[in-house]
Amino acid sequence: MDALMILGGLLLILAGLVWLVMRAFATGLLWGWASFIPPFTLLYMLRHWRSARPAVALVGLGFIPLIVGLTLMASHDSQRLEAIFSLKWLKPEAQTRAELAIDLRGVLSGRPFAPQQGELLDGVLSLREGQDFFAQSELVIRLPAPSTGPVRVDVLPTDEGRLPEVEISWLLPEQELPEARRLSRGYTLHLDLEPVEPNKYVGDFHLVLPAQFKTTLSGRVELFSNGLRYRDGKIDRHVDSVDTITHVIQDYLERRFATRRVQVSPIANLNFPLLSIDLDVEAQINGEKQRLPIMLSKHDTRGWQVAADSFPPLPSVAVTPSVIAKTADAEVAPERVSRPLDRRIRFSLEGLLRNPNRYQNLNMRALTERGNSAEGRFQGVDAEGRIILRQRMSAQGEVSYSLRPEEVTRIELLEP
């Protein structure tokens, strides 16, 4: 209401001033041009008051709703009024520097594609344009196996075997849900990505899909390898991500138990944005498995922090010659590495229902009788026997799938 009164008052004042200029031109051409200059406008009002009086009255009438609107705004929204009078809104908005240097040329589904977000997590490469829950355009490439080192992939249209799966999706203005297309062969792909500290991949990207998909992209990309973000060389605790929460808990437990031998178990996806989180965290501390209740809250200045955290930082460890000698001996000694069991071997729906805890929080893909595909991290089996999958949609939220076992025709585990 206050904004409408201010706007109405300004319109009345403007109409009165235009009427005053018209009256001045009716009096004489010289008076008309002179009325554009404030001193001569006042002189015209004094010399020809009878002619200027109606326009001046309209201007004065406009000041009444203007003053009332400003008074109402000052009473309940003084910051907004201060911003209006400070004229900051006239200054051009400062361009924020993009987090990622992505330089791609080409089109996705026939439209220009300029992604602002890029990730390579658990073997899934995603490039996303748009900040909403559903991206305006998105490209997802699921690699056959995750990699912690350099990523080099070359695929030709005639290649066979186990190839990366490519999915494109786009959202038109008149649509509520995005359209998607997926293919596993018949395309050209070149990836040459190198890991860059602290948590990025940088390199060449080239993709050409069959002609009916109208998608050709080429250039250089920069991708995040996890959910952490850095500011001035330190982890930014203000970022809402599972990796940020895990880092905060890891740092807290190390200082609480005065040891660096802490390994936090994976944390399930969280429905951000949140201001506080209450978790039961499992962690290996000095080789002993413990389950601890932890409450976190988000502060404007410090970001995410564990409640009642008053533990001092760990002292820096000085490296002694004996430690160096032991490290050298360990490097010379033959390394014995026990390979973890690949749970994808002999994976089946019956085995999943029989022992769901074994596959908790692992990435799966299920195909239903209707031909729909659901992909996400396994969250367990509910009381009605339904399979729960949750998929994180970048930083915007998550999608949850609830599937009855009898409607699942095929289910596959996507990681060991």
CA 381 to chain centre: 29
pLDDT score recorded for residue 331: 44
Residue 96 in any domain: the answer is no
Rg of the chain in Å (alpha carbons):
32
pLDDT score recorded for residue 164: 95
Using the 3D structure, point to which of 49, 65, 90 is the last residue of a domain: 90
Residue 134 in any domain: the answer is yes
Using the 3D structure, point to which of 90, 119, 145 is the last residue of a domain: 90
Residue 319 in any domain: the answer is no
Percent of the chain with pLDDT over 90: 40
Residues 332-341, mean pLDDT to the nearest whole number: 42
Q: Residue 192: pLDDT above 60?
A: yes
Residues 382-397, mean pLDDT to the nearest whole number: 76
Query: Do residue 12 and residue 58 come from a single domain?
Result: yes
Instruction: Tell me if 225 sits within 8 A of 123, measured CB to CB.
Output: no
Residue 182 in any domain: the answer is yes
Name the band, by pLDDT with cuts 50, 70 and 90, for residue 247: very high
Residue 374 in any domain: the answer is yes
CA 10 to chain centre: 41
Q: SS3 string of the chain?
A: CHHHHHHHHHHHHHHHHHHHHHHHHHHCHHHHHHCCCHHHHHHHHHHCHHHHHHHHHHHHHHHHHHHHHHHHHHHHCHHHHHHHHHCHHHCCCCCCCCCCCCEEEEEECCEECCCCEEEEECCEEEEEECCCCCCCEEEEEECCCCCCCCEEEEECCCCCCCCCEEEEEECCCCCCCCEEEEECCCCEEEEEEEEECCCEEEEEEEEECCHHHCCEEEEEEEEECCCCCEECCEECCCCCCHHHHHHHHHHHHHHHCCCCCEEECCCCCCCCCCCEEEEEEEEEECCEEEEEEEEEEEECCCEEEECCCCCCCCCCCCCCHHHHHHHHHHHHCCCCCCCCCCCCCCCCHHHHHHCHHHHCCCEEEEEECCCCEEEEEEEEECCCCCEEEEEECCCCCEEEEEECHHHEEEEEECCC
Query: Do residue 133 and residue 217 come from a single domain?
Result: yes
pLDDT score recorded for residue 253: 93
Q: Residue 332: pLDDT above 50?
A: no
Instruction: For residue 356, give its domain range.
Output: 349-413
Residue 200 in any domain: the answer is yes
Mean pLDDT of the chain: 85
pLDDT, tens only, 198-234 = 999 999 999 999 999 999 999 999 999 999 999 888 9
Residue 273, preceding peptide bond in cis (omega within 30° of 0): yes
First to last CA, the chain: 60
Residue 181 in any domain: the answer is yes
Instruction: Tell me if 311 sits within 8 A of 255, measured CB to CB.
Output: yes
Query: Do residue 138 and residue 84 come from a single domain?
Result: no
Instruction: Tell me if 103 sits within 8 A of 118, measured CB to CB.
Output: no
Query: Do residue 117 and residue 216 come from a single domain?
Result: yes
Choose among 164, 148, 138, 146: nearest CA to 217. 138
Query: Do residue 217 and residue 169 come from a single domain?
Result: yes
pLDDT, tens only, 337-361 = 334 456 777 788 888 888 887 787 7
Give the residue carrying structure tokens 């390898």.
Answer: 225
- Both structure tokens of 299: 């502060």
User: What's the burial of 237, exposed, middle or buried (CB within 10 Å: 0-12/13-18/19+)?
Assistant: buried
Indicate which CATH number applies to the domain containing 300: 3.10.450
Query: Do residue 186 and residue 294 come from a single domain?
Result: no
Query: Do residue 236 and residue 220 come from a single domain?
Result: no
Using the 3D structure, point to which of 90, 124, 149 is the last residue of a domain: 90
Query: Do residue 244 and residue 146 come from a single domain?
Result: no
Q: Report how many domains make up the chain.
A: 4
- Both structure tokens of 401: 């799938």
Query: Do residue 142 and residue 212 come from a single domain?
Result: yes
pLDDT, tens only, 148-165 = 899 999 999 999 999 999
pLDDT, tens only, 7-26 = 888 999 999 899 999 988 98
- Rounded-to-integer distance, Cα 161 and Cα 83, Å: 62
pLDDT, tens only, 96-123 = 567 899 999 999 999 999 999 999 998 9
Query: Do residue 67 and residue 116 come from a single domain?
Result: no
Choose among 241, 222, 239, 219: nearest CA to 230. 239
pLDDT, tens only, 27-48 = 888 888 988 888 888 898 888 8
- Rounded-to-integer distance, Cα 99 and Cα 205, Å: 18
